[in-house]
Chain A
């Protein structure tokens, strides 16, 4: 409640965190996917995906359950093997650009009954920078606190993560990625199961990231908010259905192709679609 108000304020007033980000040659594409195919147990889950992400935009990946949204992100981050194709991050393979990529996994992918504090989790985002055999020094603890501050959670720094609400846990995950100070972010359903104030806080952070020239790619479930939150949409259902600026791509027709078959839902949707466009 009150915390989100604080966030808005600070996120707005804070200058772009790193001027250096703007120095990266603007011609370089943050993410280029070429002809990527992914298979689980020899069953393909993603077919021939091609995509080129524009720089400095908020991009949603949208598609029905099991359409390969999460798999696509994992394939980009080398977490699942690609059967074919290549991925370039700022013109190079991921393993050479890891330091410029922030990742927010699904909140439910970990056991939150783990004996660490919110600050400890955020510090995990900087372990690579800290290096092997070294403890987390004060400098990094301060940086972790700042990241928590950006998500309005600095008062919870010492709180055990099992005592946080779902929305607070999601913010901690976000702070962990922010602490990396990356240029390209991947977020897997950051809005799933969070309260309204957390959703607002996350949207504000996404916009602040865009202001400072970062690119953010978000797996998103809530079709109603796509227009409001995102500049670009990737419609996915095992194949790339369509991708591009939200206004052009997020059409009832394309959605029908993406969600084909679930007509009842689609009819509701196309009604809803008509509304934001008339605004």
Chain B
């Protein structure tokens, strides 16, 4: 390894540790301000998503481009050198962003053009004009687009403390405002008509939400860039939705995810200055999104897959135990199937597997799971015996199944041939209250006994 590359690695480490330990005042300010930006983005984005206005933020950010270019040109014309002031550029962005938003609303309400088309038209129009103006800007002497390019791609490192105070300050205002009207915004997003009937000025509330979204979009332009700023608003709440069904938790989580991805992005891009900050912020957010997509407690893929699997296992288990019971029932006699007597007889593996049309693999899986869980005991000669717990569960499973079957037979007009299959699906989700209700309706004389099967058990039909 050459000395030069060692040196490079060394300075890289130096840079990294400076960034992470926040030794620079500038890094500290940028970190704090950008984190606030992420928090406000997550919070406002939550309502934007729930209001199904996700694309609106994209329109605003793209519509800001001509405003930025125009503001630069005008400022340079009237007072050369002032064109790169953040305030002037943001003002231009704000005006044209709002204009773009207003135009979408106008197209939507005055023509028969649909929402998505209206958004796409405005986005394309404004971005096209913006791109054209940018080529003009680049031909001017001062305008080699050094500062302006950052609006397109984002560059946290180029932010100076003064800019960040502005960004952070506005973010805090948005956060406070959004929290203040939290319940009104949630009502607007859930049921606009009811809100209007209760006397809320829904256009004003809607305008407030739009204004907050526009504000976050625009103050996010410099750090993330207009191509990616929409991610600041949309990724955190979408990720948060995987974890919760509660709006308060969702918005809090979205704020946290937004803040964390911005903070992570700032630190990483300070450590590796070659990386575009906007991209790093968005990638950090996307990483959190992916984790949420897979592991999110409420809607994540993995928990959903697991609960589906657990449900199937529960069904398999009660099917198996029911088969054990039904195999023993004729031997014991219908009234002698106590928990104790059920444990005394051996169940032949072959007969058991013939009780239902289980695929071979499935049957062996079920049996070995039941043995592992202490419901069945494996005997020496290809046979099993129910444990005390297994016998209890078997009785319950059969009772549930038969109660439901009898209910379907006596209280509904279902074809009796369909009843057994129908009962198979529902009995697994009956809760104790519903069982009590079933018993009440069926005037069951022995509340906790197992009623006889209402139809002949088709044991012989399935055994070869």
Instruction: Find B183's partner among A79, A103, A135 (CB 8 Å cutoff).
Output: A135
- The yes or no answer to B197 lying at the interface (CB within 8 A) is yes
Interface locus among B241-249, B327-335, B365-373, B382-390 = B241-249
Q: A127 to B198, Cβ gap below 8 A?
A: yes
Q: A98 to B199, Cβ gap below 8 A?
A: yes
Specify which chain B residues have a CB less than 8 angstroms from the CB of A98 in the assembled complex.
Answer: 197-199
- The yes or no answer to A86 lying at the interface (CB within 8 A) is no
Q: A109-B193, A116-B190 are in contact. Are A2 and B433 (CB under 8 A)?
A: yes
Q: B190 to A103, Cβ gap below 8 A?
A: no
Distance, CA A77 to CA B191, complexed state (A): 15
Specify which chain A residues have a CB less than 8 angstroms from the CB of B437 in the assembled complex.
Answer: 1-2
Distance, CA A214 to CA B198, complexed state (A): 19
Distance, CA A95 to CA B201, complexed state (A): 12
**In angstroms, how far is the closest chain A Cβ from the Cβ of B249?**
8
Chain B interface residues (CB < 8 Å from chain A): 50, 180-184, 186-187, 189-191, 193-194, 196-200, 241, 244-247, 250, 433-434, 437
Q: B186 to A116, Cβ gap below 8 A?
A: yes
Distance, CA A128 to CA B437, complexed state (A): 40
Among residues of A, the one whose C-beta sits closest to the C-beta of B440 is A2
Query: Which of the listed residues A111, A115, A117 has the most CB atoms from chain B within 10 Å of its own CB?
Result: A115
Q: A116 to B246, Cβ gap below 8 A?
A: yes
**In angstroms, how far is the closest chain A Cβ from the Cβ of B451?**
20
Return the CB mask of A180-201 against B: 1 if under 8 Å, else 0: 0000000000000000000000
- The yes or no answer to A120 lying at the interface (CB within 8 A) is yes
* Count of chain A residues near B, Cβ 8 A: 32
Q: A110 to B187, Cβ gap below 8 A?
A: no
**In angstroms, how far is the closest chain A Cβ from the Cβ of B8?**
49
Chain A interface residues (CB < 8 Å from chain B): 1-2, 74, 77-79, 95, 98, 101, 103, 105, 109-111, 114-117, 120-121, 124-125, 127-128, 130, 132-133, 135-136, 160, 162, 176
**In angstroms, how far is the closest chain B Cβ from the Cβ of A60?**
20
Q: B246 to A110, Cβ gap below 8 A?
A: no
Chosen A-B contacts, 5 in total, with CB atoms closer than 8 Å, are A1-B437, A78-B197, A114-B247, A116-B247, A128-B200
Query: Which of the listed residues B189, B194, B196, B434 has the most CB atoms from chain A within 10 Å of its own CB?
Result: B194
Specify which chain A residues have a CB less than 8 angstroms from the CB of B245 in the assembled complex.
Answer: 115, 117, 160, 162
**In angstroms, how far is the closest chain A Cβ from the Cβ of B456?**
30
Q: A128 to B196, Cβ gap below 8 A?
A: no
**In angstroms, how far is the closest chain A Cβ from the Cβ of B212?**
16
Among residues of B, the one whose C-beta sits closest to the C-beta of A41 is B112
Distance, CA A165 to CA B128, complexed state (A): 48
Q: B193 to A132, Cβ gap below 8 A?
A: no
Q: A127 to B189, Cβ gap below 8 A?
A: no
Instruction: Find A124's partner among B180, B191, B241, B433 (CB 8 Å cutoff).
Output: B191
Specify which chain B residues have a CB less than 8 angstroms from the CB of A95 in the assembled complex.
Answer: 199
**In angstroms, how far is the closest chain A Cβ from the Cβ of B248?**
9
Q: A95-B199, A116-B190, A124-B194 are in contact. Are A136 and B183 (CB under 8 A)?
A: yes
Query: Which of the listed residues B189, B198, B434 has the most CB atoms from chain A within 10 Å of its own CB?
Result: B198
**In angstroms, how far is the closest chain B Cβ from the Cβ of A10?**
18
Specify which chain A residues have a CB less than 8 angstroms from the CB of B199 in the assembled complex.
Answer: 95, 98, 128
Q: A95-B199, A160-B245 are in contact. Are A127 and B193 (CB under 8 A)?
A: no
Q: A120 to B247, Cβ gap below 8 A?
A: yes
Distance, CA A110 to CA B182, complexed state (A): 19
Q: A114-B189, A127-B187 are in contact. Are A133 and B196 (CB under 8 A)?
A: no
Specify which chain B residues have a CB less than 8 angstroms from the CB of A132 in the assembled complex.
Answer: 180-181, 184
Q: A77-B197, A79-B197 are in contact. Are A124 and B187 (CB under 8 A)?
A: yes
Instruction: Find A115's partner among B187, B196, B247 (CB 8 Å cutoff).
Output: B247
Additional A-B contact list (4), CB under 8 Å, known A1-B437, A78-B196, A121-B190: A101-B197, A117-B245, A120-B186, A124-B187
Distance, CA A120 to CA B50, complexed state (A): 16
